[in-house]
Amino acid sequence: MADCRHCGLDVPADSPGGDTFCCPGCKAAYDLVRGLGLERYYKQRSIDPGEAALRPDADDAPRNYCAYVRENDDGLAVLHLMVGGLHCAACVWLIENVLMRCKGVVSARLNMTTRRLVISWRKDEVSADDLVSKISALGYRLAPYDPAKLEQESTERQNLLLRAMAVAGFAAGNVMLLSVSVWSGSGDDMGPSTRSLLHWLSALIALPATAYAGQHFFRSASGVLRQGRMNMDVPISLALVLTAGMSLFETIRETEHVYFDSVLTLLFFLLVGRYLDLRARGRARAVGEHLLSLSAGAVTVFDDDGMAKVIPPDQALPGMTVLAAVGERIAIDGQVIEGISEIDRSLINGETMPCPVKPGDAVEAGSLNISTPLKIRVTASGEDTLLAAIVRLMEDAEQSKSRYVTLADRISRLYAPIVHFLAALTFAGWMLFTDAGWQQALLTAVAVLIITCPCALALAVPTVQVVASGRLFKRGILLKSGSALERLALVDKVVFDKTGTLTRGRPELLNHAMDDQALKLAASMAACSKHPLSRALVRAVPSARPASGVMELPGQGLSLATPDGNIRLGRRHWCGIEESTPSDSPELWLARPGHPPECLQFCDTLRPDAAEIIVQLQDWGLQPELLSGDRKSVVSDVARQIAIADWRAEALPASKVARLEELKAAGGHPLMIGDGLNDAPALAAASVSMSPSSAADISQNAADIVFQGEKLQPIVEAIWTARRADALVKQNIGFSFLYNAVTIPLAMTGNVSPLMAAIAMSSSSLVVIVNALRLARN
């Protein structure tokens, strides 16, 4: 199978573009490039020195990307890359489109804000190196995803832009002084020779400065043109070259129409806008990148002979012993083997209170050791840690396409042909219908080229998604779907499961009539069992120590032989209680020789803020409903305590799904919150779903959102954030359309100079980003 002579993709056997082109569009583009004598543009793109960290030929760049491929649960190969040379939404659309047309590729999503590209494909149909070569052929720089290298590359780009800004600003100031001299002497005081000399001095300053300071735009534009493509830097470069070329031509002719000062001032403001845009995107970048950077330092490990050495975290293998010093952030997942301390798990679960740990307890990467040094046995490192898994969930959510992203993508891909058509139309209209001359017509067309930019529209949705997911993550809420926030904003009913959702999901000792000695005896026997009620009893009496000689009879209880006779702790019938009426609450009975049997009652307590959250949801106009498989008496009691009027007991998984389908059929948008194995079908059937982190694995997999902690506050936090994010997205998209609807006609009619166009273009992107960042501050 041959490669297309234009885009390099495989040519299908039945291609309408013939044997050498994959489609008629590629054939037409190839013929156009050849007709213009631009065959050299099909050569490899040059490298931007400001992004050298992502050069494919760098010393540390891998030659074989197959080593970085992972397999997901569906058996698909997945590769995470970072992309250099990404400038606009057209770049995103181009890369995704090229990859999706490759054989075997299932999905390809590039996040414009984080520059992270995630590709999944059927590994038996295409290799990772083949896919990487397709994108490299377009002139983009690819490297395995590395947060540290990404931060380094961003810093280098910022430094390059700062140097270019300094050169452009210094040159603009000097040329402006020369222009003031020309303007001041425009009457009879200055002769043509003096004016021409000042113009040539301006040219000597402006042309080299433009060539150096504009290289960020020129390299990007030339790179995509070599591949027969377009991006937003092409019209910008065209505007700069045309204005500078026109000024040089007029200088040679010794006329008055020279605009070297405008070229440099225009370039300066373009660079200012690009720099501020880069900085603002850095602030909006996914929290996960910064979290991975926190664990990207070094760890101290001990050899078999007890010698300590420092290695990167991803080189720590399971079974190694790692030292976590006081004040140090743990970089691996592991189990404490020595030391008693407190750790800050706020990055993992959103809880701000320190958590005590002792030998045998598990710790996670990203946790901060507070009190004393710990020795930890490694269980996972690098991409296998819980922190890395959380970040992958966030990236999946950020890179998923909502309907707003799809709309922005469709509009952005039409940008290049539309903007060039409008510029050409403007130039032709001014030449045909005005007497302003070709110089003014060209400057007006240049203003149109600059002011029409899709960046505001391209950033309208991704920046809000990234900021929203970062805000929620800081509060212990993980988004697993990019469209989850969009669907959550439409919710009109909240359906709860009971056990493990409204309640803690574990029994607690409720009441008893025992004396302290009997209670301690029961707890010492319970310490020998792993039954949930036994564990609850031990939690209620933490000073109890396991009794010796305790025997456990499965399904009945515990027995302890004493000189006075057997002591039993367990079911009522086994302990000699003949009454057959069961209690509504879980219970244990203690039977001792010479004493009547005594009862210990337990209950699954409500989460501490359950009633408060229900009231808040009702105040927002969201009607709560309780669906539980538990007994009617238990469910009604819980519903009464938290004021839920609409409840159903003894609900099977099928009946839960049927109820949710009934709500959706009536035009509703139910949110389902559950944690049990039986809740998984209902979570999948709801319009949007949430699960606590304590939920069964299958329930977490089915849920769109997972929240941490003992409280239900994350539910209202997620709903508020979703509604706020939806409003910001609509504001950003509305502003983007309004900006173009207002500025393009103004530019075409000559009411906007190229300088003002540059300021307006940069400001539009910044307005969208700053508006999205408001979500992080609230």
Residues present in the chain in total: 778
User: For residue 448, what are the contacts with CB-CB under 8 A and spacing of at least 6?
Assistant: 419, 422, 423, 426, 744, 747, 748, 757
471/352 Cα distance (integer angstroms): 15
* Average pLDDT, integer, range 21-33: 51
3-class SS string, 182-228 = HHHCCCCCCCHHHHHHHHHHHHHHHHHHHHHHCHHHHHHHHHHHHCC
Say how many CA atoms lie within 13 Å of 556 toward its Cβ.
12
In 3D space, the residue among 761, 772, 758 whose CA is nearest the CA of residue 739 turns out to be: 761
How far apart, in Å, are the Cα atoms of 377 and each of 304, 324, 371, 372? 13, 11, 19, 16
pLDDT given at position 264:
84
End-to-end alpha-carbon separation of the chain, Å? 55
Question: Which pLDDT score is estimated for 204?
Answer: 93
Q: Are 613 and 641 in contact (CB under 8 A)?
A: no
Provide the 10 A C-beta neighbour count for residue 621: 7
**At 674, is the pLDDT very low, low, confident or very high (cuts 50, 70, 90)?**
confident
Give the pLDDT score at 32: 41
Structure-token pair, residue 692 = 């606590």
Output 562-571 pairs: Cβ under 8 A, ≥24 positions apart: 562/593, 564/593, 564/594, 565/593, 566/593, 567/521, 567/525, 567/591, 567/592, 567/593, 569/522, 569/525, 569/526
The pLDDT of residue 774 is above 50 = yes
Range 672-688 average pLDDT: 79
Question: pLDDT category, 29, cuts 50, 70, 90?
Answer: very low
Lowest mean pLDDT among 411-415, 463-467, 509-513, 546-550: 411-415
Three-state SS letters, 444-472: HHHHHHHHCCCHHHHHHCHHHHHHHHHHH
Write out pLDDT tens, residues 122-140: 888 888 888 888 888 777 7
- Residue of 344, 497, 604, 630 with catalytic role: 497
The string of pLDDT tens digits covering residues 288-310 is: 455 555 555 678 888 777 777 87
Give the C-alpha separation, 768 to 466, whole Å. 13
**Looking at residue 211, what is its pLDDT?**
92
Nearest to 544 by CA among 569, 562, 526, 561: 526
Supply the pLDDT for residue 289.
Answer: 52
Q: What is the pLDDT of residues 419-477, one digit of tens each?
A: 778 888 998 999 888 888 887 888 888 788 777 766 666 667 777 877 888 788 888 88
pLDDT for 538 beyond 80: yes
146 is catalytic: no
Per-residue pLDDT at 413: 58
**Pairing verdict, β 623-627 and 493-496:** parallel
- Cβ-based neighbour number of residue 646 at 10 Å: 12
Task: Report the SS3 class of residue 634.
Answer: helix
Residue 604 scores a pLDDT above 90: no
Q: Is the pLDDT of residue 67 over 80?
A: no
pLDDT greater at residue 62 or residue 245: 245
pLDDT classification of 9: cutoffs 50, 70, 90: low
Mean pLDDT of 78-99: 76
Residues 128-148 as b/e (b if ≥16 CB within 10 A, e otherwise) read beebbebbbbbbbbbbbbbbe
